[in-house]
Structures are given as structure tokens and as C-alpha cells.
Chains A and B, each alone.
With several copies, the nearest count.
Chain A
Amino acid sequence: MNLSVNIGSLHLNNPVIAASGCFGFGREYSEYVDLNKLGAISVKGLTLEPRQGNAAPRCAETPGGMLNSVGLQNPGVHYFIEQEIPFLRQYSAKIIANIAGNSLDDYCQMAAILDDTDIDAIELNVSCPNVKAGCMAFGSSVDGISEVVSAVRARTVKTLIVKLTPNVRDIKEIALAAERNGADAVSLINTLLGMAIDINKKRPILANNYGGLSGAAVKPVALRMVHEVTNCVKIPVIGMGGICCWQDAIEFMLAGASAVMVGTANFINPLITIEIATGIEAYMRTQNYLSIEELNRALKMN
């Protein structure tokens, strides 16, 4: 049995990836998890310059999920290259640099900078709902995504994963535009834009008012979108959104995802990525699947 998958030229030992923003730069979880046992780590969303992000509170629990409005706090791409890549390179997990920008130029500059570094892939975050300028604006129209993907494609030979927002009417057309313009893979879903109100204070709970919904609650929407996208693009699809256990991961892979990313579930169980990898392996063994591709083809529609 073979758990490995290829996402473009990116070879993963297994299909479990830590989702961006939910695993820091790997350091924090390295105490809990053997990072060698992860397929890859998508690091916290990077910007050209360091950012302090939004004011607190940045988090609100909601039924079966949570809202966050971190707003891309990060130490900047240069700090990442100098301080974090060397740490991560100690492990066999592949390094995916998640990048976000205010402008097309930001994306291009970061892609060019990262192209010269020892990372394995770039995840183009055009789907963060928590920053004022750029980002999700690019990701929610065919024109926007085409522009940014083709521009970034021209700047890097690294495996290029485009991360899609679910806050659209038809995610298929966005995914197809990413594919057409040179993406090696798409990952989805980023968070759904949501809100929670404190009825005693009569104010939104998040200082930023709106935030991104993630966690178990979004799983049915994520799974449907992954299924839609795997059925229209030819490039690999990385599925995520509410994956909390290996059974959830199997659902996404039956829906056609070549790999899965695990976000919010890490906060509840810091060992969950490894438990999911183990569970996938056991399921494939009992069900006699020899490869992830077989699993990807196993779903029968009603």
C-alpha cells in the first residue's frame, strides 16, 4: 500500500498536511507531533512586510466551529526565510509557503523571493476574509484569480497551489480559471465569512466585526465544493474544511481530494494530524486500497 501522493512536482509521503494559520511554523506543534510523519506543513500566511494583524478578540466559538479574525499577523517573508525554513528543513514534512498580498505586486514579489529558497511549494492565499485590501478580492472573481495566478506563475517554478475561497457563487469557474492560468493544484476551502454578536454587550464578539468560519460546522459545504472542483479540474485538489477525524479525511478523498489539510481540529487535539494519517492508512488496509488514487476513484454517485 502506498500513502504517497504527488501534487504537481511536490511529493508527499502521506496526504495529511497541516493547514495554514493553524499550525504556526511547525515549532509549536513539534512538541506534540513528529513532524516527520506529516505530508507537509502549510505555514502561517506570509506577507512581504511583517504584520501585526487585527485587534483582539480575534476568536469566537460558534456551534461546531469557530470564527477567527487574526488578519494575517506574521513576521514577514524575510524572517520566515531566515528563521523558519532552517527549523522546518530538519524534518521530512514538505514546506508550503502560504502567501497573501494587498496587491498584485505583493504576490509577485513574494513569489520571486521564495522561488530562490528551500521551500517545496507556494500556496497562493487569495481567500483570506480578514484583511481589508486584496486577498479575497482576487480570489472571488474569474478575472481576479486569472490575473494573480498568471502573474505569480511567471515568477516561480515551485509547485503552485491556489487556495480558494468558498464565499463565491460558483467555485468551479474560479478553480478552472486557476488551472487555466498555470496553477499546479488548488486547495479549498478557506473560511466562510461569518459573524457572532454578544447580546449583553450588544457588539460583535470579534473586534474586527466579521471573521472566518472554520471547523466541523463547515464540513458539508467544504466537501460539496471539493467534490464539484475535483469533477471539473484535472490538476490535484487538496481538500479541507472541518476535518476532525480520519473518517472526515476519507470523505474528502472519496470526493476526489488527493490530499487533505487539517486546521481548526489541531486546536482541540494537537495530535490529530498524526491520528488522521494513521486512520487513513488503517482504512485503506481494511478496504484494500493500494493507493490514494484508487480511493479517489471509489465514490459511486446515487
Chain B
Amino acid sequence: MNKHLVEIVEKTQLNSDTYQFTIHAPELSDSALPGQFLHINCSSDVAMLRRPISIFDIDKAKYTVSFVFQVRGHGTELLAKKNVGDKLDILAPLGNGFAVNSTFKSVCIAGGGIGIFPLFALLKQYPDAHKTSIVGFTSVGKFVINDEFAAISDKFIYCTDDGSGGFHGNTAQALELQLQAGDLPDIIYACGPTMMLNAIAKLSMQFNIPCQVSLEERMACGIGACLVCACKTKADSQSGWQHSHVCKDGPVFWAQDVVWEN
């Protein structure tokens, strides 16, 4: 069973609205895969839906898992108020993680905003490959965990939408420059706003590079039962598409399997 009551063992405020929590969760640290998520009960109120948050890091030695989240609305606000020693009611690990292939020599991750969080644990799965990280935020003030990404990457590119630091533009544009310059990885992993993912999916097809994207959708159950977290994927059916579900069939999909709408 994926329901756990875990203790918060570390809490760090990364910037004005972003927090990193580490939980003690032996089972979870053993089985969880990068790209999977936790479905977190943020409130004591029996009527508040859980919030999906990706796994940021896994420490099997310490039996811990950590996640990073931005305060957006009521749920994440309550979550941010929890402290070390508090218990968290989570469903985890949920969904499918990223496909990791140890024969890959060169991997690239592209993350926009809160989309960078699931990509960190993923990079750690590639100790030997050449790792390019492209991370983007709206503005330098919003940067979090850049240093960690820089430290673990062989090439590190950071972007800001407003040009206040690094590459002026989004991660898809930065990726395009890399690809055009002939820096072609064996795989691209991307997570972030849909527009960015759509652009990256197109680039991956154009340059014929396998690409996985992690999608976001509003969720209720988190386990494939309620069907609210629909996303369009390709299908053999007459229409050519079907509604898959981000929580169960994803959140990670092959970019070519997704039906991208404009």
C-alpha cells in the first residue's frame, strides 16, 4: 500500500515562497523513482484534496526523500506551515518515473520554473553520462536550487524570461541553440509549462532525439480512479487520440505519444 504517515526531518525555506522538505520514509526511499510524485494531504480538514508534488531527491542511505514546492494557493500555504517533527499523510510513490537507460552517454534536462524539481533526482541516475542542464525561471529573483543543478551537471545553462540573468529566453529556446550547435544528447527530459514542453517536443522530433516530458494536470484521487487528470495521447482508435491520465499513465510520457494542442 502506498499510504504512509511520515515525519518531516528537515525543512528549508529556499526563497520567499519555495520550500524544501525532507521526510523519513524508508520504504519510499527504497522504491521511489525519479519522476514519480507524492500526493500530499496538506490540511487536517477532511475536505481538502491532496496536492501532487514531485520527488526532488532520494537518499537511500538516510532513508529519506525530499521534495521542493512553491506556495501557490491554500494547500501549499498550509503545507509550508508544517514543521520538522510534524507528520505528513502521503500517498507515494505514485505514477511512472522517467525511463533511465544506463547506456546513454549524454543526457539533457530542460526544466522551467517548478518543473525543474523532478529532474534533479533523475540526473543523479546518470553518474557516468555527460549531463546538460537547462533551467529557466521568470527572473533571477526566482532562482532556487541552481547550485545543486550546476554542481551535478557537466554543462549548466540558466535562462530568465526577463533577461535579468543568464540566457534571455526560455529553456526551449536555449535548448534549440544547443541542438543547432550540434550538441545532441541521447535523450531529452523536460518538465515545465505546457508551451515550453510543446516547443521542446517539436525540437526533439526535428532533431530526432528521444524525449520524455512530465505533465501536470489538476488531480483528485492521484491513482487513476477518478479520471479528472486527463491528457490527450495518441491512440490506434479512429480519432487517433484518447484521454490518458497524468496520475497513472504519467506524469512522464514520451513526447511523441502526447497530442500537443496549440
Encode A72-86 as 1/0 by CB contact (under 8 A) with B.
010000000000000
User: Are A267 and B220 in contact (CB-based, < 8 A)?
Assistant: yes
User: Are B47 and A267 in contact (CB-based, < 8 A)?
Assistant: no
Q: Is A178 an interface residue (CB 8 A)?
A: no
When distances are taken between beta carbons in the complex, the residues of chain A under 8 Å from B109 are none
User: Are B242 and A70 in contact (CB-based, < 8 A)?
Assistant: no
User: Are B49 and A61 in contact (CB-based, < 8 A)?
Assistant: yes
Encode A41-81 as 1/0 by CB contact (under 8 A) with B.
00010000000111111111101111010100100000000
Q: Is B3 an interface residue (CB 8 A)?
A: yes
When distances are taken between beta carbons in the complex, the residues of chain A under 8 Å from B242 are 52
Overall SS of chain A's interface? loop
User: Are B218 and A56 in contact (CB-based, < 8 A)?
Assistant: yes
Question: How far is the CB of A206 from the nearest CB of chain B, in Å?
Answer: 9
Determine the distance from Cα of A59 to Cα of B227 in the docked complex, in whole angstroms. Answer: 9
Determine the distance from Cα of A73 to Cα of B228 in the docked complex, in whole angstroms. Answer: 9
Q: Is A29 an interface residue (CB 8 A)?
A: yes
User: Are B230 and A73 in contact (CB-based, < 8 A)?
Assistant: yes
Determine the distance from Cα of A85 to Cα of B179 in the docked complex, in whole angstroms. Answer: 50
Q: Is A182 an interface residue (CB 8 A)?
A: no
User: Are A23 and B225 in contact (CB-based, < 8 A)?
Assistant: yes
Question: How far is the CB of B79 from the nearest CB of chain A, in Å?
Answer: 14
User: Are A215 and B47 in contact (CB-based, < 8 A)?
Assistant: yes
Given A52-B243, A59-B219, A59-B220, are A266 and B225 also a contact pair (CB < 8 Å)?
yes
User: Are A244 and B230 in contact (CB-based, < 8 A)?
Assistant: no
When distances are taken between beta carbons in the complex, the residues of chain B under 8 Å from A55 are 230
A24, closest chain B residue (CB): B225
User: Are A60 and B218 in contact (CB-based, < 8 A)?
Assistant: yes
Q: Is A217 an interface residue (CB 8 A)?
A: yes
Encode B214-228 as 1/0 by CB contact (under 8 A) with A.
000111111111111
Question: How far is the CB of B195 from the nearest CB of chain A, in Å?
Answer: 14
A63, closest chain B residue (CB): B47
A248, closest chain B residue (CB): B46
When distances are taken between beta carbons in the complex, the residues of chain A under 8 Å from B239 are 52
When distances are taken between beta carbons in the complex, the residues of chain B under 8 Å from A65 are 47
Determine the distance from Cα of A216 to Cα of B192 in the docked complex, in whole angstroms. Answer: 33
User: Are B225 and A59 in contact (CB-based, < 8 A)?
Assistant: no
User: Are B223 and A270 in contact (CB-based, < 8 A)?
Assistant: yes
Q: Is B55 an interface residue (CB 8 A)?
A: no
Contact partner of B229 (CB less than 8 A), chosen from A22, A28, A56, A265, is: A56
Question: How far is the CB of B226 from the nearest CB of chain A, in Å?
Answer: 6
Q: Is A245 an interface residue (CB 8 A)?
A: yes
Determine the distance from Cα of A23 to Cα of B220 in the docked complex, in whole angstroms. Answer: 12
User: Are B228 and A68 in contact (CB-based, < 8 A)?
Assistant: yes
Q: Is A21 an interface residue (CB 8 A)?
A: yes
Given A23-B225, A270-B3, are A68 and B220 also a contact pair (CB < 8 Å)?
yes
Question: How far is the CB of B22 from the nearest CB of chain A, in Å?
Answer: 24
Determine the distance from Cα of A59 to Cα of B219 in the docked complex, in whole angstroms. Answer: 7
Determine the distance from Cα of A34 to Cα of B177 in the docked complex, in whole angstroms. Answer: 54
When distances are taken between beta carbons in the complex, the residues of chain B under 8 Å from A283 are none
When distances are taken between beta carbons in the complex, the residues of chain B under 8 Å from A73 are 227, 230, 243
User: Are B3 and A271 in contact (CB-based, < 8 A)?
Assistant: yes
Contact partner of A58 (CB less than 8 A), chosen from B2, B49, B218, B225, is: B218
User: Are A32 and B3 in contact (CB-based, < 8 A)?
Assistant: yes
Q: Is A230 an interface residue (CB 8 A)?
A: no
User: Are A267 and B218 in contact (CB-based, < 8 A)?
Assistant: no
Given A64-B47, A73-B243, are A264 and B223 also a contact pair (CB < 8 Å)?
no
Encode A15-30 as 1/0 by CB contact (under 8 A) with B.
0000001111000110
When distances are taken between beta carbons in the complex, the residues of chain B under 8 Å from A215 are 47
Q: List residues of B (203-262) whose CB comes within 8 Å of A's CBs.
A: 217-231, 239, 241-243, 248
User: Are A28 and B221 in contact (CB-based, < 8 A)?
Assistant: yes
Given A56-B218, A61-B49, A268-B50, are A24 and B41 also a contact pair (CB < 8 Å)?
no
Contact partner of A267 (CB less than 8 A), chosen from B1, B226, B241, is: B226
Q: Is A31 an interface residue (CB 8 A)?
A: yes
Determine the distance from Cα of A134 to Cα of B186 in the docked complex, in whole angstroms. Answer: 51
Most buried by A among B217, B221, B228: B228
Question: How far is the CB of A130 from the nearest CB of chain B, in Å?
Answer: 11
User: Are B227 and A58 in contact (CB-based, < 8 A)?
Assistant: yes
Contact partner of B48 (CB less than 8 A), chosen from A22, A57, A61, is: A61
Determine the distance from Cα of A53 to Cα of B217 in the docked complex, in whole angstroms. Answer: 15
User: Are A56 and B2 in contact (CB-based, < 8 A)?
Assistant: no
When distances are taken between beta carbons in the complex, the residues of chain A under 8 Å from B227 are 21, 24, 44, 53, 58, 70, 73
Given A29-B225, A52-B242, A216-B47, are A57 and B3 also a contact pair (CB < 8 Å)?
no
Ordered by A's residue number, 6 sampled pairs between the chains whose C-beta atoms are within 8 Å are A21-B227, A28-B224, A53-B243, A57-B218, A73-B243, A270-B223
Q: CB within 8 Å of A: which residues of B? A: 1-3, 41, 46-50, 75, 91, 217-231, 239, 241-243, 248
